[in-house]
Amino acid sequence: MKKVVVIGNGMVGYKFCEKLREKATPSEIEITVFGEEHIPAYDRVHLSEYFAEKSADSLVMAGMDWYKANEIDLRIGELVTSIDRQAKIVRTMHGQEASYDILVIATGSSAMIPPIQGVDKSGVFVYRTIEDLENIISYGARIKKASVLGGGLLGLEAAKALIDMGLEADVIEFAPRLMPRQLDDQGAQMLSEKLQALGIGIHLSKSTSVIKGNGKIDALEFSDGSILETDMLVISCGIVPRDELGRKAGLEVGPRGGLVVNDQMQTSDPDIYAIGEVALHNNQIYGLVAPGYNMAEVVVNQLTGDGVSKFAGNDMSTKLKLIGIDVASFGDAFGERTACLPIIYENKSGGCYKRINISSDGKKLLGGILVGDTSDYNMLCQVMQNGMALPPQAEDLILGSRGGDSPGGAIADLPDEAQICSCENVAKGAIVNAVKEQGLEDLGQVRACTKAGTGCGACSPMVADIFNETLKSMGKTVRKVLCEHFDYTRQELFDLIKVNGVKEYDELLDRFGNGDGCETCKPAVASMFASIWNDLITKQEVIQDTNDKFLANIQKGGSYSVIPRVPGGEITPEKLVVLGQVAKKYDLYVKITGGQRIDLLGAGIEQLPAIWEELIEAGFESGHAYGKALRTVKSCVGSAWCRYGLHDSVSFAIEVENRYKGLRAPHKIKGAVSGCRRECAEAQSKDFGIIATEKGWNLYVCGNGGANPQHAKLLATDIDSESCIRYLDRFLMFYIKTAEPLNRTSTWLNKMEGGLDYLRDVVINDSLGIGKQLEEEMELMVNTYKCEWKEVVNDPVHRSKFRHFINSDMPDPSQKFGLLRGQKIPVTEQK
């Protein structure tokens, strides 16, 4: 029997044990593992979730029972202090010993702590372990303002954690841009602006020279002489390989640290292997989990003689969500390795930046950067990794194909050897074969069988696409479940909520779901609750989107918008005066919107209830500009004023908007009514548009403007007002009940089998026999409408939640404003 000892029980150490036990029985290989921490291996990739769950159990990758069942001797709370290479024995701080035939060092890394004066003060932490997080949480409960030293991946994760704790957060980065290893200047600038809009202070090109304070931190002093006051500092300036054991044992170490390994992951001692962040392969330390998993598999193959036995390096492509902001980079992100042609798309108003680098001959994709919208990341990686042919117009890769196909090609076009899950090294063919040969019927089974998507999770959307395409090819019905926590489609879950009278997320999860939920299902369920029960969205405090939490859109600099409803764009002089008075009293920026309303921008959280109290007193209602709900019904002046107008478009727009105001849906809804075919209200670019004809109204549906505009489709012609309302009732309720989360009506129609003809049959011809039901459900929504802001203003409990600090009524002191053309605008240090 061969004895294998593993030093380190982190993610990579655990993965090595899992893979080795899959290929070698206890009678063949005996495994002993030493873990320094007092709990088994846990998921460091999702470490920030600990701030929400406050439970280490939710992060543990396998409990003690798993190690016992697999006859693995796991010794936690045991720090190995020495390696005797001659006797082949390791010793611990508590005097334990273990002999080995093969030793695997998986000690990972520690946080790099820069030599800054005062770094030993109270209130200074690193961000690496659950113990670190517990200390941060404990200290953070007594303060208001915290800072993060380091603007890389982990630093921004730490900033998210501080925001989740209700603290004011600043990020200090030595480089001139955030995430300097993943993003170029434009991408980093876009990310910086989005973070600042969330109220996070960004300080670039700053070198911290002194941590000030009497025993505990109270400020940071930079080399340029500037000072930033702060109550806590979290250091995230990179990693240092924990190579001290190997160094002490005489193993070869790189000039900047790390145990030097060959392609088989052997150190200078052939019986000692190193994997993960402690290993230096070809002068590179890999700080992602996927390369560590691949290293573990290489060593397992060495020991069992099965599979690939060489580590050839890893692509450092990565996709992550930083404080709700999607960021990704892949391949040659900066176009530095070879001659290339960059293609860049930037939409500042939409907060989206995309860059791809293609070969100079225009035939291959080399790499790219995505900020704000990373939906195409997985497919772009596959196009790059598999050398797939580019579309005739390469910009389609980031702008979308005008023909409607997937910009990078279809899932079916990927070769079987295409690597889908880099963490577990799972190819497309393995997923397809598992589904076909083992009759897998849901994504949970696919993950359990192939392990695809069980690492960092970035590949999960593509795994789901492959699963669905495979089922389709087998002639089976595809159910697109909401997420891994609910084995139901949105439509099925919608019906379960309604039939069973469920009104609380926890109850829904207990009865029909599993796990703890996620950022996909929580806001989707909150939206369904609002659509079904027409209840106050703030009652679902834990799960709704950020904008719904404060019933306002957050703006750059951390202030909020106030947008009252102005049905049809018609407003009395008296109400117009009130808007001006409120804007002047609370020093708000004023702008006419594209939807015929008035934006009042720059309000602090604590000001919102007082502002709305005055507006409601004047007869205004919530405009739902912050929600996935009806926004506006735009109108032209119609026959009342226009010499071309055929009908009174203003009156009809007001009637329609007042009917559907507050209606919650999978995505925002916009409408318009034009008084003639000259279309001054732009009705054909809306989710529903009504255009006057000589005989009545034409009803258009499923259009939208924005980054990917789509003309609305003609649903009904020359109908009277009553028929128009009836068809709209059916159309909107059918959309609310059947669309997937965050799908606009245009996307919903594009995915609908049968398209417009089928929709027309359902809405106008009542082919499903549900017309009366849809109308009754809409009537319930109309009759139970309440202005959300009126409810909040009149409820002391809800009103008390509108404060920037949990323990203080003070406004946010970091918000700064300047003047532009006589009105306030947010300013940042960079400006």
Distance CA(384)–CA(365), nearest Å, equals 5
pLDDT of residue 400: 65
Residue 726 has pLDDT above 50, yes or no: yes
Closest CA to 34 of 109, 85, 97, 111: 97
Residues 88 and 230 in one domain: no
- Hey, which residues does 345 pair with through a beta bridge? 354
pLDDT at 409: 52
| CATH code assigned at 776 | 3.30.413.10
Q: Is the pLDDT of residue 98 over 80?
A: yes
pLDDT of residue 519: 74
Question: Residue 209: which CATH number?
Answer: 3.50.50.60
Residue 375: pLDDT over 90:
no
pTM of the model: 0.60
Local structure of residue 23 (DSSP, 8 states): H
264 to 5, 116, 267, 422, 788: CA distances (angstroms): 17, 39, 9, 18, 62
In a domain, 581, yes or no: yes
The reply to whether 216 and 261 lie within a common domain is: no
Does 208 reside within a domain?
A: yes
Question: Across the strands, what pairs with 273?
Answer: 104, 266
Q: In this predicted structure, which of 87-101, 476-490, 759-773 has the lowest mean pLDDT? A: 476-490
Worst-scoring range by mean pLDDT, 509-518, 529-538, 540-549? 540-549
* pLDDT at res. 806: 65
Is 408 part of a structural domain of the chain? no
Amino acid (1-letter code) at residue 409: G
pLDDT tens digits for 263-296?
A: 999 999 999 999 999 999 999 998 888 899 999 9
pLDDT for 408: 46
- Rounded Cα–Cα distance for residues 741 and 483 (Å): 11
Query: CB-hemisphere CA count at 13 Å for 113?
Result: 15
Range scoring the smallest mean pLDDT among 231-245, 321-335, 532-546: 532-546
Q: What is the pLDDT of residue 520?
A: 79
φ, ψ of residue 561 in degrees (nearest 5)? -100, 150
Mean pLDDT of 814-819: 80
Query: Which residue in the block uniquely carries the two structure tokens 């709370």?
Result: 77
pLDDT(407) > 50: no
Average pLDDT over residues 449-465: 79
Is residue 147 one of the residues assigned to a domain?
Answer: yes
The predicted pLDDT at position 404 comes to 41
Contact predicate 627/668, CB 8 Å: yes
- The DSSP output letter for 122 is B
Same domain, 220 and 254: no
CA distance 185 to 188: 5
pLDDT score at 405: 42
Give per-residue pLDDT as tens, 602-628: 898 889 999 999 999 999 999 998 888
With a cut of 70, say whether residue 55 has pLDDT above it.
no
Two structure tokens written together for 273? 């292997």
- Do 573 and 685 belong to one domain? yes
- Indicate whether 65 and 134 sit together in one domain: no
- My answer on whether 710 and 773 are in the same domain is yes
Per the domain annotation, does 350 fall within a domain? no
Going by pLDDT thresholds of 50, 70 and 90, the confidence category of residue 566 is very high
**Cβ atoms of residues 325 and 194 within 8 Å:** yes
Q: Is pLDDT of 172 > 90?
A: yes
Q: What percent of the chain has pLDDT over 70?
A: 93
Q: Is residue 586 part of a domain?
A: yes
Q: Is residue 790 part of a domain?
A: no
Residues 633 and 754 in one domain: yes
Q: Which of 104-118, 303-317, 720-734 is predicted with the least confidence, judged by mean pLDDT?
A: 303-317
pLDDT at 399 (0 to 100): 79
Would you tell me how many other CB atoms lie within 10 Å of the CB of residue 302?
17
- Flag whether 277 is in a domain: yes
pLDDT band at 560 (very low <50, low <70, confident <90, very high): confident
- Distance CA(684)–CA(700), nearest Å, equals 7
In order of 325, 387, 570, 711, the CA distances from 562 in angstroms are 23, 49, 18, 30
Q: What is the pLDDT of residue 826?
A: 84
Question: What pLDDT is stored for residue 201 in this prediction?
Answer: 92
Most distant CA atoms of the chain, gap in Å: 100
Mean pLDDT score of the chain: 87
Q: Are 699 and 724 in contact (CB under 8 A)?
A: yes
Higher pLDDT, 825 or 540: 825
Q: At residue 213, does pLDDT exceed 50? A: yes
* Domain final residue pick, 527, 549, 571: 549
Residue 144 has pLDDT above 60, yes or no: yes
Do both 673 and 763 map to the same domain? yes
Domain end point (choices 188, 205, 237): 237
Q: Stretch 21-45: mean pLDDT, rounded? A: 91
pLDDT higher than 70, residue 543: no
How many structural domains compose the chain?
4
* DSSP letters for 242-305: --HHHHHTT--B-TTS-EEE-TT-B-SSTTEEE-GGGEEETTB---SHHHHHHHHHHHHHHHHT
pLDDT per position as a tens digit, 764-792: 999 999 999 999 999 999 999 999 999 99
Mean pLDDT, residues 745-761 taken together:
91
Q: Do the Cβ atoms of 383 and 466 come closer than 8 Å?
A: no
HEC profile of 691-717:
EEECCEEEEEECCECCCCCECCEEEEE
- Residue 471 tokens read as 């089922």
pLDDT of 470 > 50? The answer is yes
- pLDDT at site 456: 66
Residues 641 and 741 in one domain: yes
Q: Which range, 383-387, 452-456, 518-522, is most confident?
A: 383-387
Q: Which domain holds residue 575?
A: 550-783
pLDDT at 125: 94
pLDDT score, position 830: 44
Q: Identify whether residues 218 and 269 lie together within a single domain.
A: no
Question: Would you place residue 199 in the very low, low, confident or very high pLDDT band (cuts 50, 70, 90)?
Answer: confident
Phi-psi region for residue 754, left (φ > 0), alpha (ψ -120 to 50) or beta?
left
Q: What is the mean pLDDT of residues 300-327?
A: 78
- Going through 306-455 in order, the beta strands assigned E by DSSP cover 318-322, 325-331, 340-347, 352-359, 365-371, 419-421, 426-427
**Stretch 674-701: mean pLDDT, rounded?**
94
Same domain, 189 and 283: no
- Together in a domain, 228 and 257: no
> How many whole angstroms separate alpha carbon 54 and alpha carbon 34?
25
pLDDT score at 323: 63
Q: How far apart are the first and last CA of the chain?
A: 67
Last residue of a domain, which of 503, 524, 549?
549
- Average confidence (pLDDT) over 670-680: 93
